[in-house]
Chain A
């Protein structure tokens, strides 16, 4: 409740008013400055470690231990990058990661769009029960099923070429994410029913409806699911760690983690590998930022 205002003869109302206005403007300005200061501090906290990573990647590893630290090296030492490219299997790890995450993404997109459409728009017995099964397994962690998966893959007979240390063995167990089907069903449910009905009346078969009407309209959600799946799989660590034992089948996450030695670790080399990995991803992100943010929010099951 506002305090009662007492107007006295002697006071000049205009002066009072402008003083109050000035005070509130100062307060408003101060709040704004404080808000942007807080935001800037947190932006710095998130960005500084990346910049701090750049410095050791261009220095000899022993220089890391000198004090005071030389933030900006006298001369750019590129030996760490040379080491990563030629003494480790880094190029192969990068290729493996692209194959691993790329194949999972491609297969997932096909399977999840088909199943998502069926769950959203087609009638068939058992639909509710099957979708219930998908929902119940939505958040099963790999760690909970990693032992049976490993046993399955490692026991596959040789002629299938799908055992431990093979691409099919790495890829196949990861293509059945229920989250993707769930997301696609949610997206497909927004499809106007009238459109599908009209096509059906015009004599289009289900497959034709899917190809000619559903897919073109669903392009944005498919891109979002694709980015989401790729981001989710290229950072995957536990499964590639378990299913690859040879150096040239490792993915980037497993490979870079293996650079950390049991007793001695060359931090210059690690920082170089980290820089080579993360900076290209940041560049791609800056180009396609809108899609990235949408993809990560879709993962939060926002409805």
Chain B
């Protein structure tokens, strides 16, 4: 093969800069197209059933009706009405009290159990399983099971009280105890989950740090306060935010245990939304309250991601 023909063959094979650019663009186009084919099946329902309803929800809060008839634009009227609606403020207050009580109780107990399970490993599998079982039941079923614990006539608590020679308590006769019954159902259901969560967090603490503290003469409680707690704090904060988000949506147990009663003492935010939308047909207030819930949850989501981010930023220094 002569040098000349070889050069010509090479020229045919190589691309001019313009051709090269075009080929590159074609390649990228095809690569993007293929990538979009992976994403589109998800984003069609995602846009249709989540993003669009989000904006629609906000738009609806300036309307009335629309569930059975057609919607009517009313401007800011819904917002003015719910601003003065004591049932809504009561519902939000109840939800907040419920969340604080439930999270405080379940976190305290779960942390205690996690510490014990972390220290006493023998047989811990059985206890983990036992604690996990209530999580398998839907909240509705947990509420109904809870009826057998709290009912005035045949509830476990009252049966025990009568056996002890004490009187029965009407747990659902008064707002404070009725709300506590709902808290109890949530604590009972969530205990296993949070115990396992804290146990995983505890086991992620490097053993060397605790050993070093032991060598330095720190006693059990000191080690817990000075080593375990500071290392656990980021996970704890994140867990609290997640738990608030979850607990602000409490509805199922309210539905089967109290229906918001007595009076409005166990009415929660989602219960309020559901009742106004699908029971009382006071759609305007329901729409506005749903946007309120949305704002609260979005705000808390932002906080949780900020916490995760700050944990990641801190990590290099800890290592």
Which residues of A does B touch, CB under 8 Å?
1, 32, 35-36, 38-39, 42-43, 45-50, 52-53, 56, 64-65, 67-69, 110-112, 114-115, 117-119, 122-125, 127, 130, 133-141, 143-152, 154, 172-176, 178, 181, 205-207, 210, 231, 234-235, 237-238, 241-242, 252-254, 256-257, 260, 267, 270-271, 274, 277-278, 281-282, 285-286, 289, 292-293, 296-297, 300-303
Contacts and interface: CB of A to CB of B under 8 A. Distances in A.
B173 interface: no
A47 B49 CA distance: 39
What's the interface size class on B, roughly?
35 or more
Please report whether the interface of chain B is mostly helix, strand, loop or mixed according to DSSP. helix
Contacts of A43: 126-127, 130-131
A38 B117 CA distance: 11
Contact of B144 (A38, A119, A270): A270
Contacts of A1: 217
A271 B155 CA distance: 13
Contact of B290 (A144, A274, A285, A301): A144
B251 to A, nearest CB: 6
Given A115-B41, A118-B39, A124-B35, A278 B137 contact: yes
Contacts of A147: 57, 60, 66-67, 277, 283, 286-287, 290
B243 to A, nearest CB: 10
Contacts of A36: 120, 123
A260 B154 CA distance: 16
Among B32, B144, B304: residue with most chain A CB under 10 A: B144
A286 B136 contact: no
A117 B35 CA distance: 9
Nearest to B191: A46
Contacts of A65: 153-154
A303 B36 CA distance: 27
B240 to A, nearest CB: 12
Given A47-B133, A141-B297, A278-B137, A176 B50 contact: yes
Interface string B21-53: 000000000011011101101110110111111
A172 B49 contact: yes
Contacts of A49: 134, 145-146, 148-149, 156, 188
B175 interface: no
B50 A140 contact: yes
Given A65-B154, A122-B35, 9 more contacts: A39-B117, A68-B163, A69-B154, A124-B31, A133-B51, A147-B277, A257-B256, A278-B141, A302-B197
Contacts of A303: 308
A302 B148 contact: no
Contact of A257 (B53, B66, B197, B255): B255
Contacts of A56: 148, 154
A138 B81 CA distance: 30
Contacts of B66: 147, 151
Contacts of B57: 144-145, 147-148
Contacts of A285: 132-133, 136
Interface stretch (B6-14, B83-91, B108-116, B205-213): B108-116
B105 interface: no
B133 A50 contact: yes
Contact of A176 (B45, B141, B144): B45
B42 A181 contact: yes
A281 B192 contact: no
B76 interface: no
B116 A53 contact: no
B305 A118 contact: no
Contact of B245 (A42, A139, A231): A139
Given A35-B116, A143-B273, A282-B136, A130 B154 contact: no
Contact of B38 (A42, A118, A149, A253): A118
Given A139-B245, A139-B301, A123 B31 contact: yes
Contact of B145 (A35, A130, A274): A274
Nearest to A66: B154
B278 interface: yes
Contacts of B129: 286, 289
A140 B54 contact: yes
A259 to B, nearest CB: 9
A143 B249 contact: yes
Given A253-B141, A281-B136, A148 B52 contact: yes
